[in-house]
Homo-oligomer: A and B are copies of this chain.
């Protein structure tokens, strides 16, 4: 009725014109060197320790004919299957993660325990050289083993894995992070790295392990397990997988710290980008299972069947069943603790970020460098751990302690080390010990006179730098425990300085110090608060911990972002924030959409599709209908690359460019099932390169209508970028179609992807905004700007 005048010819000329414009959109494939400066806009990122191509995840309900039929046809049986499977999967995740967490602890405690027992026995016989040799060689072997399996078998298992999982939950799919290989290496590597006395944690790797287990369980069982295939088919999409991975990461923290509520809150506050209250319930169920499994096994171990695991294997510093009292006088030192902790935390993050960048430059050269660095750091750490305690003066044993002094064996407050009988070495009690035991010593009450100022200070400095150096090695390595131990020694030192002026004992200061450094580095609030409460088991500390966390986070936020954000940025993950930057208000959607836009027609030639798929790496293509199929050119919908590849593989071609007509949907549903278009696990999809077509087939046609998402989300080109971001982020989109304000042009202007909301992309297109942006940053850090960015002319340009 309207615009009959327009012809197919004039329409395609419009498309050609827009196609000749510059630049790439729709998830382009430009491989840009990544490490300096960090690049948000490319499709590659450092995953673990390797550079890999990454993709976005599809959370949108892809409403094509086939899907609609499948979706609508789900009866009560299917809904029952789906619900049951969801809970069953959560139960399995909890069970397996709980088991893995327990075995992890058991292995670490036994391996590290035997090492310390053997070494200590040698030192009791004054064979110090031999002791050092055994200590350092066993550390070296463990560290080398961890780094070699990581480097050669699963580079994606390097590091804590939290940034990767966080990016995944934001919609960034990196290959291999959830593969079986990565899982095995992560578990084994984490055990040997932690046992090797490197200052690395096990919480981060546990989170990655949990997420990995969850993803593998929900993947549809792979084709090998025919049994579960049918029931798991509802989980073959990114939405359900995302929910499972969230539960898995909650289970990871729950298993690492024996903190079920803290785990749920950690997943909620730090990991998840999308959250619903049903998910809260489901992750709570998962962590409850973890807690029960752990509890059952710990009960088993009380009977002494777990070797050196003993009673304190899991971090659980249940040291304060007494009533704590404090008054207004205690507030100033606690506030100071928070402020300095915030500064130290952000400094820690800053240095860690820099060191990681240097490491990455080294790693670029060859795999040998990765192993070499692990080797060097292990030797260095062994020297520090064994050498530093000699600096400390031997202390006479206190007479009124309930514990044996000096401790013979591995666990205890008073290490003998090189000291004569009746004396102990306080620095060795901290440094020549497993991390868990060191934290327990720092947190312990009634030990106000145990440590000297110098010992705690030396320990703090050692931990601060050694944790920064150790994190970047190519092995599974977490940050939580190193930060807790560093913070605890800092807090204990402050407590000793405040001395008897405070009602709080030094152990409580150590807890608050750990909180302040965690707050300054990880920038979480509620979840850290609950994790610390669950670790120390005393709720009366709550108000003080809240104050410390709030102060340290506020202070640290003035300097830089959280450590995970910094790492994600350095790794190049295009993380989509919830809030819009102020400059996004200045821009409309049309200002950032760039061409060329690849379009398909409702009925398209096979050859064209193959050509476009081979020459671009776009993942979504608008489908338009033109006269004579419709009265005027209209946007029919959007089709995904993966679906096109499936169509080509099945060779569902037409010989003439005619509509399949009323039977179209029926045809499609006979030839295809919803399973054909289900999303595979990452990296398992078919590739266009593998499809071979004859010349004849290339000349045939495909009716794309039944396979096209006919109701994509759209925005008008005049919408501000900030407002479009709200839609894109809240709904969790991969492609957002931009339609023109005025009709009479092509029915689609472009496609917005994650990439188009990244600061680097926008500021490259609109360099004038850069100056305004720096103004805003300068405002945030008035005096620190020079320190961080210098006066480079390029910024002012």
Per-residue CB contact flags for chain A residues 546-563 toward chain B (1 = under 8 Å, else 0) read 110010010000000000
Q: Are A61 and B526 in contact (CB under 8 A)?
A: no
Residues in B neighbouring A716, C-beta threshold 8 A: 710-711, 714
| Contacts A6-B2, A542-B291 given; does A63 touch B526 at CB 8 Å | no
Q: Does any Cβ of B come within 8 Å of A173's Cβ?
A: no
Per-residue CB contact flags for chain A residues 2-20 toward chain B (1 = under 8 Å, else 0) read 1111100000000000000
Residues in B neighbouring A362, C-beta threshold 8 A: none
Nearest CB on B from A635, distance (A): 8
| Contacts A63-B719, A321-B323, A744-B2 given; does A539 touch B537 at CB 8 Å | yes
Q: Does any Cβ of B come within 8 Å of A76's Cβ?
A: yes
Nearest CB on B from A84, distance (A): 12
Q: Are A723 and B2 in contact (CB under 8 A)?
A: no
Taking CB as reference atom, which chain B residue is nearest A331? B292
Nearest CB on B from A255, distance (A): 14
Residues in B neighbouring A278, C-beta threshold 8 A: 578-579
Q: Which residue of B715, B730, B744 is within 8 Å of A1 (Cβ)?
A: B744
- Complex Cα distance, B74 from A287, in Å, reads 45
Taking CB as reference atom, which chain B residue is nearest A294? B543
Binds B, one of A43-51, A148-156, A182-190, A626-634: A626-634
Q: Does any Cβ of B come within 8 Å of A582's Cβ?
A: yes
Per-residue CB contact flags for chain A residues 524-535 toward chain B (1 = under 8 Å, else 0) read 011001100110
Question: Which residues of A in the span 73-97 have a Cβ within 8 Å of any Cβ on B?
Answer: 74, 76, 79-80
Q: Does any Cβ of B come within 8 Å of A365's Cβ?
A: no
Q: Does any Cβ of B come within 8 Å of A497's Cβ?
A: no
Q: Which residue of B321, B542, B543, B579 is within 8 Å of A321 (Cβ)?
A: B321
Question: Which residues of A in the span 259-304 have a Cβ within 8 Å of any Cβ on B?
Answer: 260-261, 264-265, 268-269, 275-278, 280-281, 284-285, 287-288, 291-292, 295, 299
Q: Are B79 and A582 in contact (CB under 8 A)?
A: yes
Q: Are A550 and B284 in contact (CB under 8 A)?
A: yes
Residues in B neighbouring A689, C-beta threshold 8 A: none
Q: Are A711 and B722 in contact (CB under 8 A)?
A: no
Q: Which residue of B630, B714, B741 is within 8 Å of A634 (Cβ)?
A: B741
Q: Are B742 and A634 in contact (CB under 8 A)?
A: yes
Q: Are B530 and A261 in contact (CB under 8 A)?
A: yes
Question: Which residues of A in the span 55-72 have a Cβ within 8 Å of any Cβ on B?
Answer: 61, 63, 68, 71-72
| Contacts A285-B550, A710-B718 given; does A2 touch B743 at CB 8 Å | yes
- Complex Cα distance, B716 from A529, in Å, reads 46
Per-residue CB contact flags for chain A residues 702-743 toward chain B (1 = under 8 Å, else 0) read 000000001101111011101100110011000000000111
Q: Does any Cβ of B come within 8 Å of A540's Cβ?
A: yes
- Complex Cα distance, B741 from A630, in Å, reads 11
Residues in B neighbouring A74, C-beta threshold 8 A: 582
Q: Are B526 and A284 in contact (CB under 8 A)?
A: yes
Taking CB as reference atom, which chain B residue is nearest A583? B72
Residues in B neighbouring A291, C-beta threshold 8 A: 542-543, 546
Q: Does any Cβ of B come within 8 Å of A776's Cβ?
A: yes
Q: Does any Cβ of B come within 8 Å of A230's Cβ?
A: no
Q: Are A76 and B711 in contact (CB under 8 A)?
A: no
Q: Does any Cβ of B come within 8 Å of A327's Cβ?
A: yes
- Complex Cα distance, B744 from A61, in Å, reads 28
A5, A281, A578 — most chain B CB neighbours (10 Å)? A281
Q: Does any Cβ of B come within 8 Å of A586's Cβ?
A: yes
Q: Are B537 and A260 in contact (CB under 8 A)?
A: no
- Complex Cα distance, B742 from A744, in Å, reads 13
Q: Does any Cβ of B come within 8 Å of A779's Cβ?
A: yes
Q: Which residue of B268, B711, B714 is within 8 Å of A720 (Cβ)?
A: B711
Q: Does any Cβ of B come within 8 Å of A614's Cβ?
A: no
Q: Which residue of B582, B711, B720 is within 8 Å of A68 (Cβ)?
A: B720
- Complex Cα distance, B537 from A716, in Å, reads 54
Q: Does any Cβ of B come within 8 Å of A650's Cβ?
A: no
Question: Which residues of A in the span 573-595 have a Cβ within 8 Å of any Cβ on B?
Answer: 578-579, 582, 585-586
| Contacts A529-B261, A582-B79 given; does A722 touch B61 at CB 8 Å | yes
Q: Are B742 and A776 in contact (CB under 8 A)?
A: no
A264, A269, A719, A743 — most chain B CB neighbours (10 Å)? A743
Q: Does any Cβ of B come within 8 Å of A775's Cβ?
A: yes
Q: Are A2 and B727 in contact (CB under 8 A)?
A: no
Q: Are B543 and A539 in contact (CB under 8 A)?
A: no
A261, A546, A631 — most chain B CB neighbours (10 Å)? A261
- Complex Cα distance, B746 from A743, in Å, reads 12
| Contacts A3-B3, A269-B277, A711-B720 given; does A631 touch B744 at CB 8 Å | yes
Q: Are A72 and B295 in contact (CB under 8 A)?
A: no
Residues in B neighbouring A269, C-beta threshold 8 A: 277, 280
Q: Are A80 and B744 in contact (CB under 8 A)?
A: no
Residues in B neighbouring A63, C-beta threshold 8 A: 719-720, 723
Residues in B neighbouring A579, C-beta threshold 8 A: 276, 278
Q: Are B261 and A542 in contact (CB under 8 A)?
A: yes
Residues in B neighbouring A529, C-beta threshold 8 A: 261, 284
| Contacts A269-B277, A323-B321, A711-B718 given; does A3 touch B744 at CB 8 Å | yes
- Complex Cα distance, B589 from A713, in Å, reads 13
Nearest CB on B from A795, distance (A): 17
Q: Which residue of B260, B542, B631, B731 is within 8 Å of A260 (Cβ)?
A: B542
Residues in B neighbouring A280, C-beta threshold 8 A: 268-269, 525-526
Q: Are A76 and B779 in contact (CB under 8 A)?
A: yes
Taking CB as reference atom, which chain B residue is nearest A578? B276
Nearest CB on B from A592, distance (A): 14
Nearest CB on B from A747, distance (A): 8
Residues in B neighbouring A71, C-beta threshold 8 A: 585
Taking CB as reference atom, which chain B residue is nearest A283? B526
- Complex Cα distance, B712 from A527, in Å, reads 37
Residues in B neighbouring A726, C-beta threshold 8 A: 61, 731
Residues in B neighbouring A632, C-beta threshold 8 A: 2-3, 743-744
Residues in B neighbouring A525, C-beta threshold 8 A: 280-281, 284
- Complex Cα distance, B537 from A543, in Å, reads 13
Residues in B neighbouring A742, C-beta threshold 8 A: 630-631, 634
Q: Are B76 and A775 in contact (CB under 8 A)?
A: yes
Taking CB as reference atom, which chain B residue is nearest A74? B582
Nearest CB on B from A656, distance (A): 24
Nearest CB on B from A325, distance (A): 10
Residues in B neighbouring A323, C-beta threshold 8 A: 321
| Contacts A5-B2, A586-B72, A727-B713 given; does A779 touch B80 at CB 8 Å | yes
Enumerate 23 A-B pairs (CB-CB under 8 Å) in ascending A order: A3-B3, A3-B744, A61-B722, A61-B723, A76-B775, A79-B779, A261-B529, A277-B578, A278-B578, A281-B525, A284-B525, A284-B546, A288-B547, A292-B543, A530-B530, A537-B539, A539-B539, A631-B743, A711-B715, A711-B718, A711-B719, A713-B727, A730-B730
Q: Can you name 4 extra interface pairs (CB under 8 A) apart from A299-B327, A632-B744, A727-B731? A: A63-B723, A534-B539, A634-B741, A634-B743
The 5 A-B pairs at the shortest CB distance, nearest first, are namely A2-B744, A711-B719, A3-B3, A2-B3, A288-B546
